Amino acid sequence: MPLVALTGGIASGKSTIARRLADRGAVVIDADALVRELQQPGTEVTRAIGEAFSGVVRDDGSLDRAALGSVVFGDPDALARLNAIVHPAVRAESQRRFAEALAADPRAVVVYDVPLLAEARGTGEWDLVVVAHAPAGVREERLVAERGMTHADARARIANQASDAERLAVADVVIDTAGTLDDTLRQADDLWERLTGSAAQRLEQ
């Protein structure tokens, strides 16, 4: 079972690649979806966040994500405290999902769609690290055009993540997403062939 980490900065096209691999038959586990599950009302993670940051859990027990974001954005110490709560829980749950996928199909290709790989998780556990890459300027324009952000907000969101150099430093495979959608999908298909062909056999050895 090849275990693949797929990462990329905001507006890098990572989700497009993940969907294509899922269409081809990969088991895609979405780190952001895991976070949302772990931050449901009444969970241990949500309770711990409420204890660490006042005013971010509503009366009904749900997490006020906007309030939490305003607390941690631009505050490295606050962000580090949040990450110390969330990241270990996400790691444990993701590993449980990996084991579940392996038990269901020992030959499955498991892709972990994880935006914060370079920031929060090392490269040792993966058979392959794939980075969706488009220059920061391209991603800024996408955030403005597709998500309605101002240029200043887009630049701030990009700057708050790992740099392009940091992500590329952990990459085994880079998918260039700065071109057309067809170009990105072709590269995703090439990756799938690598994962399911002779290269997959070498990864498992």
Reading the block at residue 88, the tokens are 């270990």
Write the burial class of residue 178 (CB in 10 Å: 0-12 exposed, 13-18 middle, 19+ buried): middle
Number of helices (H), then strands (E), belonging to the chain: the values are 11, 5
Reading the block at residue 17, the tokens are 């690649």
Mean pLDDT for the stretch of residues 80-106: 94
| Amino acid present at 204 | E
pLDDT, mean over the chain? 91
Residue that wins the pLDDT comparison between 80 and 200: 80
pLDDT at 116: 82
pLDDT at 182: 97
The Cα 167–Cα 108 span in angstroms is 26
Least confident stretch, 29-43, 65-79, 100-114: 65-79
Residue 201 has pLDDT above 70, yes or no: no
pLDDT tens, position by position, 155-168: 988 998 889 999 99
pLDDT tens, position by position, 40-51: 999 999 999 999
Residue 202 has pLDDT above 50, yes or no: no
Residue pair 196/110 in contact (Cβ under 8 Å)? The answer is: no
Query: β-pairing, 110-113 with 128-133?
Result: unpaired
Least confident stretch, 58-62, 72-76, 99-103, 108-112: 72-76
pLDDT tens, position by position, 111-149: 999 988 887 665 568 999 999 999 999 999 999 999 999
Residue 73 has pLDDT above 90, yes or no: no
H-run or E-run covering 3: strand 3-8
The region that residue 11 occupies, defined by phi over 0 for left and psi between -120 and 50 for alpha, beta otherwise, is left
Q: Which domains does the chain have, with CATH numbers?
A: 1-26+109-205 (3.40.50.300), 32-105 (no CATH)
Segment 191-196 long-range contacts (CB within 8 Å, at least 24 positions apart) = 191/17, 191/21, 191/130, 192/20, 192/21, 192/24, 192/25, 192/26, 192/109, 195/2, 195/4, 195/26, 195/109, 195/128, 196/25, 196/109
pLDDT at 74: 79
Percent of the chain residues past pLDDT 70, beyond the cut: 94
The Cα 200–Cα 24 span in angstroms is 15
Instruction: Using DSSP, state whether 149 is helix, strand or coil.
Output: coil
| Amino acid present at 63 | L
Residue that wins the pLDDT comparison between 1 and 86: 86
Mean pLDDT for the stretch of residues 148-155: 95
Which residues is 90 bridged to in the sheet? Answer: none
pLDDT at 198: 47
pLDDT tens, position by position, 158-200: 998 889 999 999 999 999 999 999 999 999 999 999 999 844 4
